[in-house]
Amino acid sequence: MQKIPQADLTDFLSDNHTRKKDFVQKIGSSFEEIGFLALKGHFLDRVLQESLYKEIKAFFALPETTKNKYEVQGGGGQRGYTGFGKEHAEGRTVGDLKEFWHFGQDLDSDPKLKYLYPENINVAELNTFNSVGNTVFKRLEKTAQVVLQAIALYLNLEATYFDRFILEGNSILRAIHYPPITKPPKEAERAAAHGDINLITLLMGAQGSGLQVLNRNNEWIDAIAETDELIINVGDMLSRLTNNKLPSTIHRVINPPEKNWGKARYSLPFFMHPVPHMPLNCLPQTINEEHPKKYNDITAGNFLHQRLVALGLLES
């Protein structure tokens, strides 16, 4: 497969049984064959996207001393600011050429879960930064919920199978800034080849070149979305749950040609995480003689901790 498949979420949301069934098949086969999909018809409008871009560009333009005060020591980068070059891909020691900010769940409506997650960090210098980020978070969470309902049907589960695990789960909206490159980066990349930790990722900001996907033939192909599309990909948690029926796809953000080193890049991935106690045990219907069980039983929370250690964001 040389091109990212496309689908429209309004097909799944329609009352037309055929359109809905075709969407389920499209999204399931796309995730089996390449692990990525370009999605139209989501719940995030253009005006809101532009508002968030304006806010994150303003934040990353703040002085380093200001940004650094929003970095949470020992927090694994799960909320607030993470400085340039501090995260690296699993198995690497060279930091990626990026800095980022994390928005998490706003759980004022459900105090019993508040102790599970770190508090969101408020940026005093930007009046609407947090409110815009929280609104985008909710729209993407809703989109991810519906996509997972389609995935559940593809896996012969109840459509609402994931709902009890993902609503108010440990999801993260990440605002990434890849600054202009000022000197030859040697071995560093904007984002080295990696698989995502979570169930699924919804990505804003893939309209320009740079994001590449490793297809099943071990070929790197460009993943470029249209302006009204989100790029969606399978993460490692969903791979474990489906015994690799829906494999997590390796992807990267390559450095631009030298003539474009002076251009910054921004992207906004939403990492759909479940509640920490969700079991990631391989679904029984995905295990047979041809496909023996590939993964040990583990909870989402324990798996996340392991991966944050591997990424250099937490001490072991």
Question: Which CATH number characterizes residue 239's domain?
Answer: 2.60.120.330
DSSP one-letter string for 19-77: HHHHHHHHHHHHHHHTSEEEEES-S--HHHHHHHHHHHHHHHTS-HHHHHTTB-TTSTT
* Residue 235 within any structural domain of the chain: yes
pTM for this structure? 0.90
Asked whether residue 282 is domain-assigned, the answer is yes
| Most confident residue range from 61-70, 203-212, 215-224 | 61-70
Segment 78-103 mean pLDDT: 79
Which run of H or of E encompasses 204?
strand 200-204
Provide φ and ψ at 65, rounded to 5°.
Answer: -65, -35
Residue 1: pLDDT band by 50, 70, 90 thresholds?
Answer: very low
Three-state DSSP class for 234?
strand
In a domain, 315, yes or no: no
Task: Specify whether the CB–CB gap between 29 and 159 falls below 8 A.
Answer: no
Structure tokens belonging to residue 96 = 């990626």
CA pair distance 180, 84, nearest whole angstrom: 12
- Beta carbons within 8 Å of 14's beta carbon, 6+ residues apart: 20
User: Is the predicted pLDDT of residue 93 greater than 70, yes or no?
Assistant: no
Short-list 13, 10, 22, 98, CA closest to 60: 98
Stretch (H or E) spanning 133? helix 129-154
- 165 falls in which pLDDT band (50, 70, 90)? very high
Establish if 140 belongs to a structural domain: yes
Residue 111 lies in a domain: yes
Q: Which domain holds residue 191?
A: 6-310
Total structural domains within the chain:
1
Q: Is it the case that residue 20 has pLDDT exceeding 90? A: yes
Q: Are strands 6-8 and 36-40 parallel, antiparallel or unpaired?
A: parallel
pLDDT per residue over 252-278, tens digit each?
A: 988 778 888 888 888 899 999 999 999
For residue 261, being part of any structural domain is answered with yes
Q: Looking at the domain assignment, is residue 1 inside a domain?
A: no
Does residue 316 fall inside a structural domain? no
Q: What is the pLDDT of residues 215-236, one digit of tens each?
A: 888 889 888 888 889 999 999 9
Distance of alpha carbon 43 from alpha carbon 316, whole angstroms: 38
Instruction: Say what percent of the chain tops pLDDT 90.
Output: 59
Q: Give dist(CA 168, CA 176) in Å, integer.
A: 23
Residue that wins the pLDDT comparison between 130 and 73: 130
Q: How many CB atoms lie within 10 A of CB 98?
A: 24
Region 123-151: mean pLDDT is: 96
